[in-house]
Amino acid sequence: MTLFSPVNGDKVSEEIVHQIEVAIVSGHLRPGHGLPSERELQRRFEASRGAIREAIRILRQKGLIETRKGAQGGHYIKEIEISQASEHLALMVRQKQLPLRKLLQFRYGIDQAVLCVALKEATEVECRKMSALADRLLALCQADTLDMTAISAVDRDINLCLVEMTKNPFYEWVMRTIQLSFGSYDHVLYEDPHARREVGINWRCTADALMEGDIQKAMQWFGHWYVLLERCLLKRYGEEVFNSGGDQIAPPGSSSGDDPSARGGRDGAPPSGVGAVSV
């Protein structure tokens, strides 16, 4: 079988890139496999040296190949890692300077889907792990002294635990992207003592709902978490910046909230413009 065929036209380099991409996706070229030499590629594609080198540059820029030096030098197919794709997408989100409101709406929708799947797929062991993490987070949130490093670590672990319950790598990929592009804003929930204690209670109640397999309660407490975050972001940045985005958005500062234990669940509505999920 001939892997590559001659190319012609005005976009020679792009066509070469396309043929190599197809070979990678189809499995004819696997991670660790080397591309033919540049001279051999010139022969197979019937293309100039400049066109081949431009195609190599594009493939390298896309993260599909790497160039090695030495006796075993050449161009080799790279393993495409989810983390790299997530970082590229997160960078794009930050560069676009999308409104916080839009990011919050999107994240809320994804988190609802994660929670629904987690409730169906989670094992008892995973639920107990979530419960233990919620206890740890609550203790840190109720402590007199703020330990943001410890809180951030437990917050990360509890979110990771939830997405692992789904047994679905696609959710892990999307959630990693969300954390990279938006996760730093979660700090507004922990920097104010009152809001911090409220969030700790909220996670504790969410874990209880997961243990009980009660999707309605879990959704209510999860929705309440987003109400708290939206409230804190609005207080930190103001309505105009929250709704328009832009470079006015600085690192998170202080925030505040109410006591959810007095209400026993969600107060108000999910992030602006997001409807409730039917359960």
Are 64 and 111 members of one domain?
A: no
Are 36 and 141 members of one domain?
A: no
With respect to residue 112, please indicate whether it lies within any of the assigned structural domains. Answer: yes
Distance CA 52, CA 46 (A): 10
For residue range 220-257, what is the model confidence (pLDDT) as tens digits? Answer: 998 999 999 898 888 888 888 788 765 444 444 333 33
Are 102 and 154 members of one domain?
A: yes
- CATH number, domain of 49, equals 1.10.10.10
Are 36 and 145 members of one domain?
A: no
For residue range 130-150, what is the model confidence (pLDDT) as tens digits? Answer: 999 999 999 999 999 999 999
Instruction: Give the residue-averaged pLDDT of 119-125.
Output: 94
Q: Which residues pair with 65 in a beta bridge?
A: 77
With respect to residue 39, please indicate whether it lies within any of the assigned structural domains. Answer: yes
Query: pTM for the full model?
Result: 0.63
Are 28 and 49 members of one domain?
A: yes
Looking at residue 177, what is its pLDDT? 74
- Judged against a pLDDT cut of 70, whether residue 87 lies above it is answered with no
- CATH number, domain of 234, equals 1.20.120.530
- Judged against a pLDDT cut of 60, whether residue 101 lies above it is answered with yes
Are 49 and 114 members of one domain?
A: no
Distance CA 252, CA 77 (A): 40
For residue range 24-49, what is the model confidence (pLDDT) as tens digits? Answer: 988 899 999 999 999 999 999 999 99
Instruction: Give the residue-averaged pLDDT of 101-128.
Output: 91
Are 195 and 212 members of one domain?
A: yes
Contact present, 129 and 161 (Cβ < 8 Å) = yes
Distance CA 113, CA 270 (A): 14
Q: Tell me the residue range of the domain where 119 lies.
A: 84-262
